[in-house]
């Protein structure tokens, strides 16, 4: 009777010499830590373990090409298990923090931020200048909207605000997984909303480097897939990048700290 191969051994076997060489070419001295994170990711996610380990590695390589870690606690990039023609399949998706990281690498941003507007806070817009102002005090932790703000070193400023209702309408229109209790929209709505408003702002008004354009290309947004149930601490980010943007800037924001490069 053959002995079952442990998930860790499956992924280690799939990380061939060629894979290691590719990672060294991209990540140099950080290749070893990235390999360790791939092994940990696969070993800790029951849904990814149902996928072909080589397919998981291929999706991780997309994150490596952007020099982003796949550690799900960091929130830069995620590998998510979906069902494709009845079989689990891994899928690379950017986290909103990953987009911030790539934007900051351009060296063109003075400020870049995304945050939640809570019940009790009011958002007003100046239709002449396009600026927005957030006033009042939060009365609860109930979100009523989301904003993103950018300011370039050359002085250009832009912000985008969307109410929670606007975000929900967007999700219903563009995401076939919206309404599924196991989807990221159900388990992590705030993160999804922040990602939606931030990517909309950057893609239309921000500095788009070659690296940023590649991230948009690699980031999966195929909503024909049916998402596999994800555990509480498993990968959860889903991208829905298309968004109707209105010119509604914000007055002030704080700079987002830069995360680690890999």
Q: What pLDDT is recorded for position 134?
A: 94
Instruction: Report the alpha-carbon distance of residue 183 to residue 236 in Å, rounded.
Output: 8
Q: What pLDDT is recorded for position 219?
A: 84
User: In 38-121, where do the E strands start and end?
Assistant: 77-84, 87-94, 109-118
Q: What pLDDT is recorded for position 246?
A: 37
Instruction: Report the alpha-carbon distance of residue 258 to residue 94 in Å, rounded.
Output: 16
Q: Could you give the strand order of the β-sheet that contains 87-94, starting from the edge strand earlier in sequence? A: 87-94, 77-84, 226-227
| Residue closest to 58 by CA, chosen among 84, 27, 32, 89 | 89
Give the pairing type, strands 226-227 and 87-94. Answer: unpaired
- Both tokens of 180, joined, read 């599924």
Q: What pLDDT is recorded for position 110?
A: 95
- Assess contact for 256 and 100: CB atoms under 8 A: yes
Q: What pLDDT is recorded for position 127?
A: 77
- Both tokens of 154, joined, read 């050359």
- Assess contact for 146 and 161: CB atoms under 8 A: yes
Instruction: Report the alpha-carbon distance of residue 129 to residue 117 in Å, rounded.
Output: 21
Ranges under pLDDT 70 in the chain: 1-4, 130, 176-177, 182-183, 220-262
Strand, coil or helix: what is 18? helix
Entry pTM: 0.76
Q: What pLDDT is recorded for position 220?
A: 66
- Both tokens of 13, joined, read 């076997």
């Amino acid at each position: 009777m053959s002995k079952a191969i442990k998930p860790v051994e499956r992924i280690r076997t799939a990380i061939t010499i060629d894979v290691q060489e590719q990672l060294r070419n991209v990540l140099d001295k950080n290749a070893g830590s990235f390999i360790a994170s791939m092994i940990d990711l696969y070993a800790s996610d029951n849904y990814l373990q149902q996928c072909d380990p080589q397919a998981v590695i291929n999706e991780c390589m997309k994150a490596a090409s952007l020099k982003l870690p796949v550690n799900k606690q960091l929130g830069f990039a995620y590998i998510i298990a979906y069902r494709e023609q009845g079989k689990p399949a891994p899928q690379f998706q950017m986290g909103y923090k990953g987009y911030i990281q790539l934007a900051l690498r351009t060296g063109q941003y003075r400020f870049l931020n995304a945050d939640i507007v809570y019940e009790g806070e009011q958002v007003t817009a100046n239709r002449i200048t396009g600026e927005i102002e957030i006033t009042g005090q939060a009365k609860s932790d109930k979100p009523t909207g989301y904003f993103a703000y950018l300011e370039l070193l050359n002085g250009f400023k832009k912000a985008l605000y969307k109410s929670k209702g606007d975000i929900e309408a967007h999700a219903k229109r563009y995401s076939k997984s919206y309404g599924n209790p196991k989807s990221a929209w159900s388990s992590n709505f705030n993160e999804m909303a922040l990602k939606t408003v931030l990517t909309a702002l950057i893609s239309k008004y921000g500095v788009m480097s070659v690296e940023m354009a590649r991230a948009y290309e690699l980031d999966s947004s195929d909503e024909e897939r049916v998402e596999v149930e994800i555990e509480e601490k498993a990968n959860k980010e889903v991208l829905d990048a298309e968004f109707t943007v209105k010119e509604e800037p914000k007055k002030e924001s704080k700079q987002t700290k830069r995360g680690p490069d890999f």
